[in-house]
Structure 1
C-alpha cells in the first residue's frame, strides 16, 4: 500500500502539476483548495502526510496547521509558500511543521522532504510501539484491591513532575513501580538512571552521583559523568536511599534544593533537571530518630509517598503472577509452558512469601528448570513451603514460655533474613540485635 499525501493549495496549477508528479512517484494523492476542505479530508481519509500552502482563502495555512496539530499531532506537515520569510518559517516550525519549502517548487527537494517526513513518522510510530511494549512488559500484574490502589496512585502521580518516595519490603517490586512512573511520565523519552545507594562504596558515592574530573579520584585517568548528569531531563532512581551515609545525604540535599552541583575535583557549576524517585525498605522515620537519616532530606524526597504491598497482602494475585512467570520462563528457555496443579497453587496461596514477588519469581524459574514433567505438583515444591511453622495458634500449643519465645524469634528472624537477601549482618542491623544472636537462633542454640 502506497503512502497517501494530501496537497492543500488554492492554485489549481499546483494541485495538478504537483499531484501528477507525486502520483508518478508512486504516492496516492488527495487534493484540497482551502483549509476547511483539507481538514475534512484529513478526518475522512487519514492521509500519511500533508503538503500545505501558507496563503489560502478562508483560514490560511498557519491556522490550518494549528487545527491539524490539535486533532492529529503526529501527522507530518510540509509547508510550501511563495512568500517565505524567516518569521513564517519560525512560526510554522514552532507549530510543528516538519519542513518549509519555497515556491517555485523543486520536485527533488519535495521528494527528499516527503521521504524524510515519512521516515520520521515511521520511527515515531516504532518508538511509541516499543514504549507500549516496555510498559506492558514492566506492568504491575494483579487485580487485588491493594494492587488496584497502587495502580491508581501511579496513574495519578506519573504525569506530574512530583518527586516520589517508594516504600516496601525487599522483593515487592519497588523498581518496577519506579520504571512505570518514568514510562508514563512526560520524561519517558529521556533516560531513567538507577543508583543503588546500598551497593556503591561510601568513598565512591559522591563521584557516582556527581561525576569527577580527571585525576580527582584515585585510579581515575579520565573525566567521568555522574548519574545526575546522565539523567538530565529524565529521571534518577535512588534505590535503597536509607543506606546512604549522612555525609552524602548532605550533598544530595544541596543538589535537590539548588539543582546545581560540581563534579568532584571540578570548579564548574552544573545544573540538574531531573525527576527524583527514591525507594527504601527501611522505616526512614525510625532511621531519623536513630540519627541515621536526615530529617530535611526525608521531607524533601517524601513529596508523594507510595507504599508497595507485600505479596502476603495480595494473595489473590498469586495465580496471575504464577502464570506470568511460567510464560516468561518458557519463552526464555524456548520450551513448552508448564502448568501448576491445584494442590501446588493452594500451597502458594497459604505461604507467607517473606521474599515477596522476587521469591515467587525465582521459585517458578527454578521449578521450570528442575521439574521434568509438564505439570508442577505439590510434591515438586521445596520443603520450606510445605513445613508447618510455629506461627499463629501453633505458638499457643507450646507449654513453655521460653520455648514459645524462641520459636517466635526464630520464625521472625527467618522472615527478616528472607527480606534482606539472607544477609545476617544487614538483618541484625535492621532489627537491632547482634549477628551472633541470629546465628544462634538459626542453629537452634538460642536461650
Structure 2
C-alpha cells in the first residue's frame, strides 16, 4: 500500500523542510515547493492526496494557488497555514473550499492529525466541513472588522474564566496540543482537557476553531 502524498507549499525555506520531515516521519510522502507556479505543476503531475498551503506567498498568493488547484481537482483537501493577522484572506481560502486552517507557527502534532483526517474524510463530509468553516469565518470577519456597537455576550463571559482556564484558552488558540500545554504548565494532559471543557462550556464554544476565533476577537493573541 503506497504512502499518502502531501504537497507542502510554503516560501519559508526554514520551515518547509521541517514540515516535510515531520510528515515523512509519520508515514506520509511529502513534496515541498516554495512558489505557486511550481505547486500547480507538481499538483497536476503528482496528484497528491492533500495539500498544505501557506496563504502568504509571493507572486501568486495562497488563495490564487488554491483556486488553480481546485480547478484541477475540486475534491482534494487543502489545509491552510495562516498567521492570525491574515483572517480576511483565510475567509477567501475557506470559501474556495479549504478543509481546515492551522495558525503559524504550527503545532506539528495537530498538523499531522489534521492532514491525516482530511485525507481519510469522504468528499461529501469534507465539503460540508468547508462550508461550516466558511460560515464561521464570514461571521467572525463581519464582527472583527468593526461593526459599531457590536457586543458579543461571549466576550463578557470571558470574565468568568479562572486564571488556569485563561492560560489554557491562550495556549490552545496558539495551536498547542494538550500534551504540550501540559508540559508547559506542569499539569497532566487530562487536567488540560478538563479545564478546556470547562472554559468551552462557560463561553458556549464547541471546538478548537471557535476557541481561536474567540481569542482573535478578544485580541488575546496580539
TM-score of the superposition, structure 1-length normalised? Answer: 0.27
Tell me what 2:21 maps to.
Answer: 20
Tell me what 2:81 maps to.
Answer: 80
- Aligned pairs for 1:155-170 within 5 A: none
2:112 maps to 1:111: yes
The CA deviation string for residues 269-297 of structure 1, in whole angstroms up to 9 with x for no partner, is xxxxxxxxxxxxxxxxxxxxxxxxxxxxx
Q: Deviation of residue 85 (structure 1)?
A: 3.8
**What is the distance in 2 between the residues matched to 1:18 and 1:56?**
16
**What is the distance in 2 between the residues matched to 1:56 and 1:116?**
25
2:5 maps to 1:38: no
- Aligned pairs for 1:163-312 within 5 A: none
**What is the distance in 1 between the residues matched to 2:117 and 2:124?**
11
**What is the distance in 2 between the residues matched to 1:121 and 1:41?**
23
**What is the distance in 2 between the residues matched to 1:104 and 1:86?**
15
Structure possessing the higher relative contact order (Cα contacts under 8 Å, 6 or more residues apart): 2
2:57 maps to 1:59: no
Residues 84 and 102 in structure 1, CA contact (< 8 A), matched pair in contact too: no
**What is the distance in 1 between the residues matched to 2:85 and 2:121?**
24
Q: Deviation of residue 58 (structure 1)?
A: 1.3
**What is the distance in 1 between the residues matched to 2:91 and 2:31?**
27
The CA deviation string for residues 48-88 of structure 1, in whole angstroms up to 9 with x for no partner, is 00000111111010110111112210111011022544322
Q: Which has the larger Rg?
A: 1
The CA deviation string for residues 199-256 of structure 1, in whole angstroms up to 9 with x for no partner, is xxxxxxxxxxxxxxxxxxxxxxxxxxxxxxxxxxxxxxxxxxxxxxxxxxxxxxxxxx
2:100 maps to 1:99: yes
Helix, strand or coil at the partner of 2:53: strand
Distance 1:95 1:86, change over 3 A: same
Tell me what 1:2 maps to.
Answer: 3
Helix, strand or coil at the partner of 1:78: strand
Distance 1:32 1:121, change over 3 A: farther
Q: Deviation of residue 37 (structure 1)?
A: 0.5
**What is the distance in 2 between the residues matched to 1:118 and 1:31?**
18
TM-score of the superposition, structure 2-length normalised? Answer: 0.53
For structure 1, which runs of at least 5 residues remain unmatched after alignment? Answer: 126-447
- Aligned pairs for 1:390-401 within 5 A: none
**What is the distance in 2 between the residues matched to 1:36 and 1:89?**
20
Tell me what 1:188 maps to.
Answer: none
Q: Deviation of residue 124 (structure 1)?
A: 6.5
**What is the distance in 2 between the residues matched to 1:72 and 1:84?**
29
Residues 54 and 60 in structure 1, CA contact (< 8 A), matched pair in contact too: yes
**What is the distance in 1 between the residues matched to 2:82 and 2:125?**
27
Residues 82 and 90 in structure 2, CA contact (< 8 A), matched pair in contact too: no
**What is the distance in 2 between the residues matched to 1:74 and 1:84?**
28
**What is the distance in 2 between the residues matched to 1:2 and 1:84?**
34
Helix, strand or coil at the partner of 1:43: helix
- Structure 1 or 2: more helix by fraction: 2
- Aligned pairs for 1:340-419 within 5 A: none
Tell me what 2:164 maps to.
Answer: none
Residues 11 and 57 in structure 2, CA contact (< 8 A), matched pair in contact too: yes
Helix, strand or coil at the partner of 2:121: helix
Residues 80 and 100 in structure 1, CA contact (< 8 A), matched pair in contact too: yes
Helix, strand or coil at the partner of 1:12: coil
Distance 1:92 1:59, change over 3 A: same
